[in-house]
Structure 1
Amino acid sequence: MGMELREIEAAGWDAWFGQVMVAFGGVTDGVEEQRFYRSVNEPERSIAAFDGGHIVGTAGAFSFRMAVPGGAVVPVAGVTCVGVEPTHRRRGVLTAMMRRQLDDVRRRGEALSVLLASEPQIYPRFGYGVGCSTLRAEVDTARVGLRMPAGAERIRLVRADVHASLAECERLYAARFRGRPGMFERAPGWEYRPVLDEPSERGGASALFCVQAFDGEELAGYARYAVAPRWSPSGPDGAVYVRDVEALSPAAYAALWRYLFDMDLTSTLHARHLPVDDALLRLVTDQRRCRLQLRDGLFVRVVDVPKALAARTYQLPVRVVLEVSDPFCPWNEGRWLLSGDAQGATCKRTEEAAELALGAEELGAVYLGDTSLLSLAGAGRVAELRPGALAEASAAFGSAVAPFFSHGF
């Protein structure tokens, strides 16, 4: 191809990120977002594909730590900024960057790589599976009510400055994130990602607001949101756009949603990023008028099979031999004996007969507990080689709560 892959130097970030914007349609991020991403960029993990002196491809990664089933927090690569110049499509640029990147992830000792896909059909060929789904809701708050749990009446709500309240909100988040697989431990600097509020991207909505929930004197939750005032011939018809809601108790959680539902001059609430088992679904009086939409979320790639499978726990005791097919990361191929329960697990190579056969994409899809082995088998994507092995392993790989990811990257 006459192409060369190189890591960017910090001084080359502007050109590299400019090419990322070209690949994503040429609309440049706002000043605030560019400043943030430059501050958290890891130049040694940012790849540029050069054709002559021109950048024709980009791929980057962030060094994250992510909760996995059982509550352990493990290092993962957060893949980002992947794009190829339109003039260089179908010439192997993307494959070369993915090869370089996954080799680097393995060298760093990270057992997992994750990404958010702009085009989801691209990444399964590199072994990424949809390991976490996300839910969107558009609620008709004029017709949908909430069933309030006991204790909600004692919750005190206070509107707070988004940035002044950031530190205490982050302490609450840090106390909660291990409870859901897929959630990130926020490294220094990343606490600003959830409160990025570029004026050019508000779409007619207000600046970001924050409301905090107190149970006595203790912070029990918070919500961040924006309001878009609208008027129809019959009166006010505004919308509330919910960024995130975190709470330590059902009472605080419900009180925050009631606040968001009851916003003056509004009749619609948009929640664009919820766990698929979010408690909001059990609070609303009418799910039909919530216009729920399921979307793919976090894609997961198992880079080191024994390390990844031993890092999490399993809902039920399991002992199963997996036959893994992984041509893009051939070090993962072969038979692996997984033995584990709710206390821990081991995974090692074995000569025992295989009991289940699956590919890297399927392993990524089931890793966080979002997708079941049984459902993949129903689609012909997992093969049962020992009767009973499929049901046993599928139950063990599940998660008590649905996985979720905190924010984009």
Structure 2
Amino acid sequence: MAHNDIAVDPASAARLAEAGLELRRMANDGSELVAWHGAQARGFLETERTAVQDAAVAERWRGRRLIGVLDPTGPQPDWPVGTVSSWVAALSLPGGTAPAWAISSVTVAPTHHRRGIARALLEGELRAAASAGVPIASLTVTESPLYGRYGFAPAVSVATLSIDVKRASWTGPVAPGRVDFVTREQWRREAPALADRVFAQRPGELTASDGHWDHIAGTAADADRPERIRTVRYRDVHDEVQGLLAYTVTENTEDYTRSRVDVRALVAADDAASAALWRFLVELDLVQTVVATEQSIDEPVLWMISDRRAATVTLHDHHYVRILDVTAALQARRYRRPGRLLLQITDTLGLAGGAFVLTVDDDGSASVAPASARATAPVTLTADVVALSALLLGQVSARTLAAAGRLSATDAGAVADVFGWDPPARLSYWY
């Protein structure tokens, strides 16, 4: 069965029916899409949708599963008062990948707060994902306090870099290839293949849809001021595309030498491409500030400029993940150290709890087996599914979680050594 053909969760549907509401899987086209799209935009405080925007989203979201909560007694009974969308994508793990049930568009109308709608939507998505055999759920969030109660953990933090390029000259390597402007259409054609090559280099990345690249390049029919977007390519000495950059410029009308650049995407397959594109940004004429969001917490450009204090770095939570199948999720990744751990996991939703033995071989591969009541191991980890999900991508240390009281272990250092990974996880966009 295709992902977007999966029926709504019966338990969530029954709970909402008791409140006089209907949980419905909505069509990806026609009047149902228009209503769902409009309700979702209203939930995020956006403008009313136009016919062009509705048609564009119908094209982009053909593979998404759209769920709405309807109030048949309201003045707009066909418009949802709650929305969620989902699709299945590949999530990059340390040394591997796994299918992830990606969740987005979670909204509840302000007229219908405190009626159990968010709970029904999120628990329904998690149960649907588990029933479909997808081992992990993931999302990016606008409100972080909401999702921990459903087992999600902030497993990936990212950095926003704001660099005063008037103050910081380039001291990094000089890449041997060439940087050129290209058309937005050409950039859009080349981005997916390059991103696929880069994808496995960092845990935490989720394969992006075609709609994502159209949004970045401004090539979608409903693009907002696409003429502002400038697109650049780096080719190495063998004439292979190794890097792509998209950015916008905001002029400073009081001082035209102090404009601002906002990076929309910087995709680099190797260190030379990354250095070349960052150097291009740092040395732009008539620019004061370069701002790049969703960057790695160990971004090398900070070591490539003459004045480290010219860069302001802000860290924030970004990619939330939730384990649904402990065995499948943990076996899909690699580990830094061999070891044998007894995992005692609790899950208030009853989806991923239990006792397991994790055995990591010398090559970093692992097997996970249910543990009997008498099972023992050199190290025992006791945690809820939130803490285990935080460890999955290797960025959050078990030592940190133990110090914070979020897990207990007979040897937190040994757990950290097994689960840790380099480079740190990253997700380079919102979804």
Query: Among residues 97, 101, 123, which one is paired with 1:77 in the alignment?
Result: 101
* 1:285 pairs with 2:309: no
CA 1:294–1:35: 2 relative to 1, 3 Å:
farther
Q: 1:373 to 1:37 in 2, by over 3 A?
A: farther
Which of the residues 338, 343, 356 maps onto 2:358?
338
Partner residue, 1:228: 250
Aligned residue in 1 for 2:10: none
Distance 1:288 1:35, change over 3 A: farther
Does the aligned pair in 2 maintain the 1:208–1:225 contact within 8 Å? Answer: yes
- Partners of 2:63 and 2:189 in 1: how far apart? 27
1:45 to 61, 65, 78: 65
Q: Distance in 2 between matches of 1:33 and 1:399?
A: 41
CA deviation profile, 1:222-245 (whole Å, cap 9, x unmatched): 211111111336x52101111122
Matched, 1:239 2:260: yes
Please say if residues 7 and 43 of structure 1, whose CA atoms lie closer than 8 Å, have aligned partners that are also in contact: no
Q: Secondary structure of 2:94's match?
A: coil
Picking from 198, 212, 216, the partner of 1:194 is 216
Q: Secondary structure of 2:145's partner?
A: coil
Correspondence 1:100 to 2:124 = yes
Instruction: Assess if the C-alpha contact under 8 Å between 1:134 and 1:276 holds in 2.
Output: yes
Distance 1:209-1:31 versus aligned 2 partners, 3 A rule = farther
Distance 1:213 1:266 in 2: 21
Answer with 373-382 or 363-372: which moved more.
363-372
Larger RCO, structure (CA 8 Å, separation 6 or more) = 1
TM-superposed deviation, 1:185: 2.8
Residue 116 of structure 1 aligns with an amino acid whose one-letter code is T
Contact 1:182 / 1:368 at 8 angstroms: preserved in 2? yes
TM-score, normalised by the number of residues in structure 2: 0.86
1:19 aligns with 2:39: yes
* 1:364 maps to 2:389: yes
Cα distance between partner residues in 2 of 1:301 and 1:39: 29
* Match status 1:263 vs 2:288: no
Amino acid at match of 2:397: S
Q: Deviations over 1:324-365 (max 9, x none)?
A: 11112x131121111124442111210225811111111221
User: How far did residue 173 of structure 1 move?
Assistant: 1.9
In 2, distance between residues paired with 1:401 and 1:271?
19
Q: Does 1:66 pair with 2:91?
A: yes
Structure-1 separation of matches of 2:117 and 2:272? 52
SS in 1 for 2:322: strand
Task: Determine if contact 1:325/1:360 at 8 Å carries over to the other structure.
Answer: yes
Structure 1 residues 303 and 196: CA distance shift in structure 2, 3 A = farther
Question: Which residue number in structure 2 is paired with residue 403 of structure 1?
Answer: 425
C-alpha distance after superposition, 1:179-233 (max 9, x if no partner)? 111122345555424324789866xx96111111122222221211111111336
- Corresponding residue for residue 269 of structure 2: 248
Change (3 A) 1:208 1:179: same
With over 3 angstroms needed to count, the CA separation of the structure-2 counterparts of 1:80 and 1:157, relative to structure 1, is same
Aligned position for 1:306: 327
- Which residue pairs with 1:129 in the alignment? 153
Q: Distance in 2 between matches of 1:42 and 1:379?
A: 43
Amino acid at match of 1:148: G
**Counterpart of 1:350?**
371
Give the letter aligned to residue 148 of structure 2: P
Aligned to 1:169: 191
Root-mean-square deviation over aligned CA pairs: 2.3
Distance 1:32 1:73, change over 3 A: farther
Name the counterpart of 1:7: 25
Distance 1:206 1:40, change over 3 A: closer
Is it true that 1:319 corresponds to 2:337 in the alignment? no
Letter in structure 2 aligned against 1:349: P
| Alignment partner of 1:158 is 2:186 | no
Work out the CA distance in 1 between the residues paired with 2:53 and 2:171.
38
Superposition deviation, residue 99 in structure 1:
1.7
1:142 deviation in Å?
0.5
Which runs of 5 or more structure 1 residues have no equivalent in the other structure? Answer: none
Aligned residue among 202, 212, 216 for 2:233: 212
Taking the aligned partners of 1:320 and 1:349, their CA distance within structure 2 comes to 12
Amino acid at match of 1:96: A
> Is residue 110 from structure 1 mapped to residue 121 from structure 2 by the alignment?
no
Change (3 A) 1:373 1:4: same
Question: What is the aligned-residue identity percentage?
Answer: 27
Residues 29 and 392 of structure 1: CA distance in aligned 2, closer, same or farther (over 3 Å): farther
For the Cα contact (< 8 Å) 1:42–1:61, is it kept in 2? no
- What's the CA shift string for 1:140-161, capped at 9, x where partnerless? 1001122222x52x32111100
More moved, 354-363 vs 57-66 = 354-363
Q: How far apart, CA to CA, are the structure 2 residues paired with 1:307 and 1:324?
A: 15
Q: Aligned AA for 1:246?
A: V
Q: Distance in 1 between matches of 2:157 and 2:53?
A: 25
The alignment's TM-score, normalised by the length of structure 1, stands at: 0.91
Q: Higher mean Cα deviation, 192-201 or 264-273?
A: 192-201
Aligned length: 399
CA contact (8 A) 2:170 2:283 kept: no
After superposition, the Cα gap between the structure-2 partners of 1:18 and 1:201, relative to the gap in structure 1 and judged at 3 Å, is: same
SS in structure 1 of the partner of residue 244 of structure 2? strand
Cα distance in 2 for residues equivalent to 1:131 and 1:266: 34
The farther-off stretch of 219-228 and 47-56 is 47-56
Looking at structure 2, the residues matched to 42 and 250 of structure 1 have their Cα atoms a distance apart, in angstroms, of: 36
Equivalent residue for 2:295, pick from 274, 288, 311 = 274
Instruction: Tell me the secondary structure at the aligned position of residue 147 of structure 1.
Output: coil
